[in-house]
Amino acid sequence: MAILITGANRGVGLALAERAAAHKNTVIGTFRGKTAPTLSGIQWEQLNVEAPESHQELAKRLTGVQIDLLVCNAGVYLDRGAALSGGYAKPLWDETFAVNVTGVFFTIQALLPNVQAAQGKIAIISSQMASDTTAPGGSYIYRASKAAALNLGRNLATDLKRQAIPVGIYHPGWVQTDMGGSGADITVEQSAIGLLERFDALNMATSGCFETWDGRNHPY
């Protein structure tokens, strides 16, 4: 199986790429910087998810490559600890939405022909912080961006239904990464194992789902 994972050079994305490659899948991992990671067993491709032209360049390099599973994982959390009074500057909104929302859309738009050729699947990594049901306050930019990614995924599931391409949206857990912090609930390995199981189970009957890494339905 051919899997493409955005933001695969660190955190959950890296754990997903490593585990998928260890199970003999063909793994394409994207990275944002100028120097590709040295991890073997993964085909590294440069992608700045904020830049539409970068998506088009990637699509050209991957012309004719079938993608069985497209994982939109790249994301940022820039407003951690920001204060309602005086915080949440506009540049934080701009960059967060460029990565977490429009970056997801441009990735799917550019690589949809590759997924169509394989009759593949699409997975979007959102967050429990996207939920309208659970609203503890704070982190307004990140929460809004992940809610938008959730909405994007559910609407894509509707539009791609006629092409029999399932789309799933997932909460990866509170993970021990630079983003999640050392006090988080689970390791990157636990998250990756659970998420890959969710991706395997994704089909047209569950398309549009919002699920946790360990298989529970998450409230919207």
Please give the residue range of the domain that contains residue 8: 2-212
Q: What is the pLDDT of residues 171-212, one digit of tens each?
A: 998 887 766 666 767 898 999 999 999 999 999 999 999 999
**Residue 179: what pLDDT?**
67
Q: For residue 219, is it within any domain?
A: no
Q: For residue 217, is it within any domain?
A: no
Of 11-15, 101-105, 136-140, where does mean pLDDT reach its minimum? Answer: 136-140
Whole-number Å distance between alpha carbons of 67 and 141: 31
Q: For residue 186, is it within any domain?
A: yes
Please, which pLDDT band fits residue 220 given cuts at 50, 70 and 90? confident
Q: For residue 104, is it within any domain?
A: yes
Q: For residue 220, is it within any domain?
A: no
CATH number at residue 49: 3.40.50.720
Q: How many domains does the chain have?
A: 1
